[in-house]
């Protein structure tokens, strides 16, 4: 019954079927192998650890479409649309294997009961797919939400149009093939839509020979279109169906956004970081091929939202285009790789990033943007000695003064915040189990010292036995690391670890999410394994144990700003909120963008010191709008940089009367008395 069993111009259909298949599959494999080799241009990176766990979680997230559903805002239905299309095509794929492959290609006969049931399912599925495609077309070309806004290259336009046309055609062809088949062979109990079509065709009075001929022709057309799609996909730039699953499979399983150290064996090199395609790791190149163009990253990027030139999506896509452009020559060994900095990615883009991680958080296919940006910075700073003047000033301070601050009249001296505080300040040879690590900003900048002092009073009130380092504390190294000055960071990490060990420290409490992230997630790579607790976690614990009682009625409406390095980097969302909710008579209102979608304050990635580029507005002012939008009287945060950024934007916008910013420790202290 299958059109393959017929003979065409004396050639058996089977020959034609397998001949076409061999050609198409060959072309597919050839291109796929080429793309595979492109990825292999990168430096090897071991992402095969815990492979079992990787495989199961990848299958789970793809099958459930958790990847595309997880990260879209409530008002955006793209994730649902994608899920429909994906599941729909899943059904069709099985259908093609059974009805085209097994029945057609291998000539097996499929039980008619199964056929009827399965085709009926496909009848309905195809409707869903067409609906999803229509919505996608409307969104992409008519309503155009901001995240999809982009100047599409001509190539991309062609790809999108071909994609939508091919998918719609396949769905339509499904009905045609089905209708003709049932009409031509005059079969009974047809699937719903196929049945309607079949009776219509029969009612036209066409001869069964005509129907059969048309059926055969349409069947082959469908087959050729399928093979065409197989060949076209890897040749187009829409590679995500092929590479996204692999990207999810090889995603980083370590702490989020943690950076790779430059290993000692590479210290003698002339060049550091990334400036050319082969400087990337294989996973970083795979990232480029896996991008789906969805724009979620861009819609959440603080730099992009405030009109800076950086868009994480454009960066990824430009790099991908560059890879596809220069890849063939690199593979042939014909050309040396060119530097991409300045041409493919601009220095402005590289420095605009606050390393907030919002892009990675929402990316459906686990692309790691922050890594790449830091690698590009490493090249600029370590190899080319090129950076914005403000970045250089900060790095010079880190190097010569041991902290990033300088030039502020009101700056405190290291350790002078401890005077008259009756604190246990560690000197050489002293030991302590618990260290309160203050961090540079909390020790040196007047406003932040207030928060630090509040925290020490809270700890004392709860009778916590802790010590501080006072004047011997240095920087944790984070600003240097995020600015690409890796060796300075490594030195500071090694020094600090030595200091911790010399005092026999077991547990480190810190109020700074950047220190917290660095000591907790990055020091282990340098031999420092300590229990690290953020002040919010510690306080929440004290409250839970009944050691701290928040009894004072603050009668306040508060909103909480999630620091990126506490929230997104370390998933600490609950504890700060628990604490605020434990204060009597306090209402906690959430900003529209909060928790893992929280907007950066603008200070991460060294941007407390690196001057913000001109754009439509400043990041901290955008965030101030979010806070003002809640109608809260106070915005509470748990990071010294966020505190500063809010102080600055409130001052700048003259909103001191309507909004006050406080560190969580300050609120807790106020609620204790």
Partner 1 sequence: MNTIVCVKQVLDPEIPPAKFKIDAEAKQVIPPAGVPPVISVYDERAVEAALRLKDKHKGKITALSMGSEKAADVIKHAIALGADDGFVLQDAAFENLDSFGTAYVLAKAIQKIGEYDLVLCGRQAADWGAGEVGSILAEILGIPVITLASEIQAQDKTLRVKRIVSDGFEVLEAPMPCLITVGSEIGLPRLPAGPRLMMARKKVIPIWRAQDIGAEPTKLDKQNAHTEVIGLSVPTRKTECEMITGATPADAAAHLAAKLSKLI
Q: Please write down the HEC assignment for all residues of 313-376.
A: HHHHHHHHHHHHHHHHHHHHCCCCCCCCECCCECHHHHHHCCCCCHHHHHCCCCCCHHHHHHHH
CA distances from 167 to 65, 131, 222, 399, 543 (A): 19, 11, 11, 58, 57
- Closest separation between CB of residue 525 and partner 1, Å? 16
CA distances from 251 to 5, 237, 254, 323, 465 (A): 46, 22, 9, 20, 41
Q: How far apart are CA 588 and CA 574, in angstroms?
A: 13
8 Å CB contact between 608 and 479: yes
8 Å CB contact between 377 and 347: no
- 43: its two tokens: 């430096």
Report what 370 binds from partner 1, ligand SF4, none; CB cut-off 5-8 Å by kind. Answer: ligand SF4
Report what 579 binds from ligand SF4, partner 1, none; CB cut-off 5-8 Å by kind. Answer: none
Give the binding-site size for ligand SF4 (rule: CB under 6 A): 29
In the bound state with partner 1, the residue whose beta carbon lies nearer, of 416 and 592, is: 416
Closest CA to 293 of 375, 365, 234: 365
Instruction: Looking at residues 271 to 330 of the shown chain, list those that interact with partner 1 (rule: CB under 8 A).
Output: 272
Site stretch for partner 1 (CB under 8 A), options 43-51, 392-400, 422-430, 580-588: 392-400
Report what 407 binds from ligand SF4, partner 1, none; CB cut-off 5-8 Å by kind. Answer: partner 1
Residues with Cβ within 8 Å of residue 247, at least 6 apart in sequence: 283, 286, 287, 289, 290, 365, 366, 367
- Closest separation between CB of residue 378 and partner 1, Å? 8
Bridge partners for 11 per DSSP: 8
Give the binding-site size for partner 1 (rule: CB under 8 A): 36
- Closest separation between CB of residue 380 and partner 1, Å? 11
Report what 295 binds from ligand SF4, partner 1, none; CB cut-off 5-8 Å by kind. Answer: ligand SF4
Instruction: Looking at residues 406 to 445 of the shown chain, list those that interact with partner 1 (rule: CB under 8 A).
Output: 406-411, 413-416
Bridge partners for 534 per DSSP: 510
Quick check: 457 binds partner 1 (CB under 8 A)? no
Q: How far apart are CA 412 and CA 443, in angstroms?
A: 7
Q: How far apart are CA 501 and CA 383, in angstroms?
A: 33
Residues with Cβ within 8 Å of residue 100, at least 6 apart in sequence: 222, 223, 226
Among 2, 281, 354, 456, binds ligand SF4 (CB under 6 A): 354
Contact mark string toward partner 1, 208..247, x via CB under 8 A = ----------------------------------------
In the bound state with ligand SF4, the residue whose beta carbon lies nearer, of 16 and 305, is: 305
8 Å CB contact between 8 and 16: yes
Among 41, 126, 316, 548, binds ligand SF4 (CB under 6 A): 316
In the bound state with partner 1, the residue whose beta carbon lies nearer, of 219 and 485, is: 485
**Residue 107 burial (CB < 10 Å; 0-12/13-18/19+)?**
middle
Owner of token pair 């009612």: 203
Instruction: Looking at residues 285 to 314 of the shown chain, list those that interact with ligand SF4 (rule: CB under 6 A).
Output: 291-297, 300-303, 310, 312-313
- Closest separation between CB of residue 555 and partner 1, Å? 38
CA distances from 259 to 255, 358, 367, 497, 503 (A): 9, 16, 14, 18, 27
- Closest separation between CB of residue 668 and ligand SF4, Å? 29
In the bound state with ligand SF4, the residue whose beta carbon lies nearer, of 507 and 626, is: 626
Report what 369 binds from partner 1, ligand SF4, none; CB cut-off 5-8 Å by kind. Answer: ligand SF4
Quick check: 399 binds partner 1 (CB under 8 A)? yes
- Closest separation between CB of residue 406 and partner 1, Å? 5
**Residue 288 burial (CB < 10 Å; 0-12/13-18/19+)?**
buried
Site stretch for partner 1 (CB under 8 A), options 198-206, 237-245, 282-290, 387-395: 387-395
Its sign, for the CA torsion 349, 351, 352, 358, is positive
In the bound state with partner 1, the residue whose beta carbon lies nearer, of 84 and 437, is: 437
Report what 313 binds from ligand SF4, partner 1, none; CB cut-off 5-8 Å by kind. Answer: ligand SF4
Our CA dihedral for 295, 299, 302, 305, rounded to 10 degrees, sits at 110
Quick check: 263 binds partner 1 (CB under 8 A)? no
Among 338, 471, 626, 647, binds partner 1 (CB under 8 A): 471
**Residue 192 burial (CB < 10 Å; 0-12/13-18/19+)?**
exposed
Residues with Cβ within 8 Å of residue 403, at least 6 apart in sequence: 397, 414, 440, 444, 474, 475
In the bound state with partner 1, the residue whose beta carbon lies nearer, of 156 and 494, is: 494
In the bound state with ligand SF4, the residue whose beta carbon lies nearer, of 115 and 314, is: 314
Q: How far apart are CA 452 and CA 509, in angstroms?
A: 12
- Closest separation between CB of residue 245 and ligand SF4, Å? 13
In the bound state with ligand SF4, the residue whose beta carbon lies nearer, of 4 and 299, is: 299
Quick check: 382 binds partner 1 (CB under 8 A)? yes
Residues with Cβ within 8 Å of residue 616, at least 6 apart in sequence: 306, 307
In the bound state with partner 1, the residue whose beta carbon lies nearer, of 239 and 382, is: 382
In the bound state with partner 1, the residue whose beta carbon lies nearer, of 328 and 527, is: 527
- Closest separation between CB of residue 200 and ligand SF4, Å? 43
Report what 36 binds from partner 1, ligand SF4, none; CB cut-off 5-8 Å by kind. Answer: none
Report what 204 binds from partner 1, ligand SF4, none; CB cut-off 5-8 Å by kind. Answer: none
Among 486, 522, 575, 648, binds partner 1 (CB under 8 A): 486
Its sign, for the CA torsion 216, 222, 225, 229, is negative
Report what 488 binds from partner 1, ligand SF4, none; CB cut-off 5-8 Å by kind. Answer: partner 1
Q: How far apart are CA 187 and CA 110, in angstroms?
A: 14
Give the chain's radius of gyration (CA, Å).
30
Quick check: 365 binds ligand SF4 (CB under 6 A)? yes
- Closest separation between CB of residue 467 and partner 1, Å? 17
The three-class DSSP label of residue 42 is coil
- Closest separation between CB of residue 484 and ligand SF4, Å? 14
Among 100, 326, 353, 394, binds ligand SF4 (CB under 6 A): 353
Report what 268 binds from partner 1, ligand SF4, none; CB cut-off 5-8 Å by kind. Answer: partner 1
- Closest separation between CB of residue 482 and partner 1, Å? 15
- Closest separation between CB of residue 272 and partner 1, Å? 6
**Residue 499 burial (CB < 10 Å; 0-12/13-18/19+)?**
middle
Query: How many CB atoms are located within 10 Å of the residue 566 CB?
Result: 27
Residue ranges that bind ligand SF4, judged by CB under 6 A = 291-297, 300-303, 310, 312-313, 316, 353-359, 362-365, 367, 369-370
Residue ranges that bind partner 1, judged by CB under 8 A = 262, 267-268, 272, 381-383, 385, 387, 389, 392, 395-396, 399-402, 406-411, 413-416, 470-472, 485-488, 490-491
């Amino acid at each position: 019954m299958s059109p393959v069993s017929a003979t065409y111009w004396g050639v058996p259909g089977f020959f034609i079927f397998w001949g076409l298949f061999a050609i198409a599959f060959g072309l597919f494999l050839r291109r796929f192998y080429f793309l595979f080799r492109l990825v292999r241009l990168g430096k090897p990176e071991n992402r095969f650890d815990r492979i079992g766990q990787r495989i199961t979680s990848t299958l789970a997230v793809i099958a459930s479409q958790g990847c595309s559903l997880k990260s879209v805002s409530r008002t955006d239905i793209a994730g649902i649309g994608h899920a429909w299309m994906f599941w729909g095509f899943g059904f069709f794929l099985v259908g093609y294997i059974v009805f085209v492959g097994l029945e057609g290609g291998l000539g097996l006969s499929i039980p008619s009961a199964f056929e009827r049931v399965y085709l009926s399912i496909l009848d309905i599925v195809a409707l869903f797919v067409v609906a999803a495609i229509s919505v996608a077309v409307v969104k992409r070309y008519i309503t155009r939400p901001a995240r999809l806004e982009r100047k599409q290259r001509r190539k991309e336009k062609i790809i999108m149009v071909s994609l939508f046309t091919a998918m719609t055609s396949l769905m339509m062809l499904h009905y045609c093939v089905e209708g003709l088949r049932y009409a031509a062979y005059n079969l009974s109990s047809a699937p719903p839509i196929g049945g309607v079509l079949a009776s219509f065709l029969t009612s036209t009075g066409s001869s069964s020979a005509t129907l059969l001929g048309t059926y055969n022709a349409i069947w082959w057309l469908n087959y050729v279109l399928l093979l065409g799609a197989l060949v076209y996909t890897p040749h187009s730039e829409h590679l995500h169906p092929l590479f996204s699953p692999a990207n999810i499979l090889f995603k980083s399983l370590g702490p989020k956004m943690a950076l790779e150290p430059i290993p000692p064996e590479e210290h003698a090199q002339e060049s550091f970081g990334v400036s050319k395609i082969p400087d990337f790791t294989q996973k970083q190149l795979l990232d480029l091929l896996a991008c789906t163009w969805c724009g979620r990253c861009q819609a959440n990027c603080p730099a992009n939202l405030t009109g800076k030139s950086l868009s994480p999506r454009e960066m990824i896509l430009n790099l991908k285009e560059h890879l596809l452009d220069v890849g063939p020559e690199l593979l042939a060994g014909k050309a040396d790789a060119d530097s991409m900095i300045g041409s493919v990615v601009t220095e402005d883009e590289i420095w605009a990033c606050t390393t907030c991680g919002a892009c990675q958080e929402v990316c459906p296919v686990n692309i790691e943007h922050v890594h790449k940006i830091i690698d590009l910075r490493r090249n600029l700073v370590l190899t080319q000695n090129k950076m914005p003047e403000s970045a250089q000033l900060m790095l010079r301070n880190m190097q010569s003064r041991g902290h990033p601050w300088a030039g502020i009249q009101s700056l405190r001296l290291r350790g002078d915040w401890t005077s008259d505080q009756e604190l246990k300040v560690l000197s050489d040879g002293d030991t302590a189990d618990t260290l309160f690590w203050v961090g540079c900003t909390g020790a040196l900048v007047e406003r932040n010292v207030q928060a630090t002092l509040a925290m020490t009073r809270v700890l004392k009130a709860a009778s916590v036995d802790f010590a501080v380092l006072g004047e011997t504390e240095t920087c944790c190294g984070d600003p240097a690391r995020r600015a690409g000055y890796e060796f300075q960071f490594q030195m500071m990490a090694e020094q600090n670890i030595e200091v911790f060990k010399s005092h026999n420290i077991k547990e480190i409490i810190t109020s700074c999410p950047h220190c917290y992230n660095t000591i907790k997630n990055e020091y282990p790579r340098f031999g420092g394994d300590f229990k690290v607790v953020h002040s919010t976690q510690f306080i929440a614990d004290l409250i839970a144990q009944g050691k701290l009682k928040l009894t004072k009625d603050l009668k306040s409406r508060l909103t909480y700003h999630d620091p990126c390095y506490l929230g997104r980097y370390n998933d600490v969302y609950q504890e700060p909120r628990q604490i605020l909710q434990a204060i009597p008579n306090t209402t906690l209102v959430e900003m529209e963008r909060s928790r893992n979608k929280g907007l950066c304050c603008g200070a991460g990635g060294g941007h407390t010191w690196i001057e913000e580029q001109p754009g439509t507005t400043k990041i901290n002012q955008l965030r101030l709008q979010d806070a003002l939008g809640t109608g809260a009287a106070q915005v509470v945060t748990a990071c010294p940089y966020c505190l500063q950024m809010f102080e600055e934007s409130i001052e700048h916008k003259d909103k001191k009367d309507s909004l006050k910013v406080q560190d969580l420790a300050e609120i807790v202290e106020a609620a204790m008395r």
